[in-house]
Amino acid sequence: MKSRNAQSYLEYVLVSTILRALAILPRPIRLKIAYFFGYLGYLLAKRLRLTARKNLEMALPNLSSQEHEKIIKGVFRNFGRLLAEFSYFPKFTCSEIEKIVVYEGLEHYLNAINKGRGVLFLTGHVGAWELSSFAHASYGYPHNILVRQIDNPYIDRLVDYYRSCKGNKAIDKNNSVKAILSALKRGEAVGILIDLNTVRNQGVFCDFFGIPACSTTGLATLALRTRAAVVPGFLLWDEALGKHKLHFEPEVELIITGDQKEDIYQNTAQFNKVVEKIVKLYPDQWMWVHRRWKTRPEGESGFY
């Protein structure tokens, strides 16, 4: 137990040192160093590269292997960009945020939140996703974010501080229902990432890039129960602009047939399509290294 605690603390020291070292550098240099870390990750993380190639071969079979490889390199570059931005969270001022993050479709969020039923952000691991909630809070719209606790308790507390230093509140996904319902009742917003694989008894199989993917039903269940507005929101890097776009889309109209099980399935399926559309537009900014199609329907062989 002591050795495990010592290892956890050493990992915390390493992570916190990297974050603080990056934070003292000018942003252009910070980005270059973080991009280098991303490239090192690409070179060293063979298993993740193999997973990404398999995913791309299944989801985007019309692209060449060279195009797949370019996307994979972009994914690791995107991780570096996320690291660079995340490291500076405690130091960011509103004026600095305005220089690197611009809104696209803010009116969709404002229209939804003004209805007073709360907002459920439909989002995923696209772009510098941690920056999306942070920037929105920095602009004056703090909200709640559903998170999975990190196994290392020291790093978990550190990351929680970075996420919440502008007013956001983290909700542990393992004990989340009551907290989410309370937040929505107060007319607040809650961000939920829906694009990861889930276990069979906690999801339904809906198409994602034409392949059945076990998908969380949490967002659909909450939306149907509370009638909170479901607003897609993603942070997207615009290379030509040299900035991130905090992109909101119009509220998703819920499918309501009166059959609860069918409604959960149909809405989860349409939420998947929203994420798929964004990933197709920005393929090098999504987590292809994640085993999205790991859980298979009963009797079907695994892909990985």
Q: What is the pLDDT of residues 85-124, one digit of tens each?
A: 999 999 999 999 999 999 999 999 999 999 999 999 999 9
- The reply to whether 85 falls in a domain is yes
State in Å, rounded, how far the first CA of the chain is from the last one.
Answer: 33
pLDDT-based confidence at residue 3 (cuts at 50, 70, 90): confident
Q: How far apart are CA 106 and CA 268, in angstroms?
A: 24
Structural domain tally of the chain?
1
- The reply to whether 131 falls in a domain is yes
Q: Decide if pLDDT at 2 tops 80.
A: no
Q: What is the pLDDT of residues 22-60, one digit of tens each?
A: 999 999 999 999 999 999 999 999 999 999 999 999 999
Is the separation of the CB atoms in 122 and 271 below 8 Å? Answer: yes
pLDDT for 265 equals 98
Q: Decide if pLDDT at 4 tops 90.
A: no
- The reply to whether 150 falls in a domain is yes
pLDDT for 267 equals 98
Taking the model in full, what pTM does it have?
0.95
In sequence order, the 6+-apart residues with CB closer than 8 A to the CB of 13 are: none
- The reply to whether 292 falls in a domain is no
Q: Decide if pLDDT at 1 tops 80.
A: no
pLDDT for 241 equals 93
- The reply to whether 294 falls in a domain is no
Is the separation of the CB atoms in 35 and 42 below 8 Å? Answer: no
For the chain, what is the mean pLDDT? 96
- Domain of residue 204 covers 2-285
Q: What is the pLDDT of residues 173-192, one digit of tens each?
A: 988 999 999 999 999 999 99
Q: How far apart are CA 214 and CA 292, in angstroms?
A: 8
Q: What is the pLDDT of residues 213-229, one digit of tens each?
A: 999 999 999 999 999 99
- The reply to whether 220 falls in a domain is yes
- The reply to whether 300 falls in a domain is no
pLDDT for 174 equals 86
Q: What is the pLDDT of residues 187-214, one digit of tens each?
A: 999 999 999 999 999 999 999 999 999 9
Q: What is the pLDDT of residues 93-103, one digit of tens each?
A: 999 999 999 99
- Measured between alpha carbons, how far is residue 254 from residues 114, 115, 186 in Å? 18, 15, 21
- The reply to whether 299 falls in a domain is no
Starting at the edge strand found earlier in the chain, the sheet holding 169-172 runs 101-104, 243-248, 229-238, 119-123, 189-193, 144-147, 169-172
Question: What are φ and ψ of residue 140, in 5° steps?
Answer: 110, 15
pLDDT for 5 equals 85
Is the separation of the CB atoms in 222 and 267 below 8 Å? Answer: no
